[in-house]
Amino acid sequence: MTIHPATFNSSSKESVNLVRNMMMLGNYNNDIFYPNNMPSELRPLPYEKAWEKCTISNWFNIQLEDGSLLIYKKDSYIYMMTPVKTLSYEEYLESYYPQDEWGDADEFKVMISQEYDNYIDTHTKNFPPLPVRYDIDEEHYCEHSHPYCHFHFGIENEGRVATQKILTPLSFTAFILRSFYPKQWKKYSESDLITEHLRHFKGNLGVSPPNYWKGYEKDLLYIG
């Protein structure tokens, strides 16, 4: 049991609206086509190179303002957290110029702006990313070791975190944004904008069919 293609497509487009409402939209592709050779192209690459390949090739549905990617494929949604990190301009001011008077004079504003440009050019650095993948996997289902619906957190590990919910692109996107961008989510959730999508984040989601949710699975810890 997977979501209907029409629901998948509309949910993918609504995800763009969600990210836009949170003021986090960098780029997006409404009619994305993922080539069949995409997995074989990415599999041998280190994570940073795989992220770079997806970015350059436009293999993403949504690119967040920090460079992270959201990829929606049939039975699999992926959050590729950017492997590079810099301070935003506001964070830079808070870290290096916390006193308000620095920003009062135009000459200081110009000086700080130039310093920040130089910082961006020279201080972009790698940091440990935590990508997330959500899979619906009928073929490899095993009630003991391979849940029908599950999350993968991190890079190159066999860990699977079970969930009974069959997510849509929108519900997956909301889960990622709330989990990894708490400041932006707090601002968004305290505004009226959240009412546009709130009932679609978890309401009306399907669940694993009984033949793919067996034995003692219900008695173990799992997500939602």
Residues 163-201: tens digit of each pLDDT: 999 999 999 999 999 999 999 999 999 999 999 999 999
If asked whether residues 81 and 184 sit together in one domain, one would say: yes
Same domain, 152 and 166: yes
Does 102 share its domain with 197? no
Instruction: Label residue 152 by pLDDT band (50, 70, 90).
Output: very high
Q: For the whole prediction, is pTM greater than 0.85?
A: no
pLDDT of residue 123: 60
> Does residue 103 surpass a pLDDT of 60?
no
Confidence at residue 92, expressed as pLDDT on a 0 to 100 scale: 75
pLDDT of 219 higher than 70: yes
- The reply to whether 96 and 137 lie within a common domain is no
Q: Is the pLDDT of residue 161 over 80?
A: yes
Provide mean pLDDT across the span 106-117: 74
- Is residue 39 domain-shared with residue 143, that is, in the same domain? yes
**Tens-place pLDDT, residues 21-54:** 999 998 999 889 999 999 999 999 999 899 989 9
Reply yes or no on whether the pLDDT at 71 is more than 70.
yes
Same domain, 78 and 101: no
Do 30 and 134 fall into the same domain? yes
Q: Which domain holds residue 111?
A: 89-123
Q: Which two tokens stand for residue 53?
A: 């390949």
* pLDDT at residue number 164: 96
**Total structural domains in the chain?**
2
140 and 181, same domain (yes or no): yes
For residue 153, the cross-strand partners are 132
Of residues 27 and 107, which shows the higher confidence score? 27
> Residue 122: pLDDT band by 50, 70, 90 thresholds?
low
Q: Domain for residue 224, yes or no? A: no
* Cα angle 81-85-91, degrees, rounded to a multiple of 5: 120
Q: Domain boundary at 123, 146, 172, which?
A: 123
Q: Supply the mean pLDDT for the chain.
A: 89
Same structural domain, 81 and 175? yes
Residue 120 pLDDT greater than 70, yes or no: no
In the chain the beta strands, taken as DSSP E runs, fall at: 25-28, 62-64, 69-73, 76-80, 84-85, 125-126, 132-136, 149-153, 161-162, 165-166, 206-207
Query: Is the same domain home to 50 and 147?
Result: yes
- Quick check: 62 and 70 in contact, CB under 8 A? yes
- Asked if the structure places residue 23 within a domain, the reply is yes
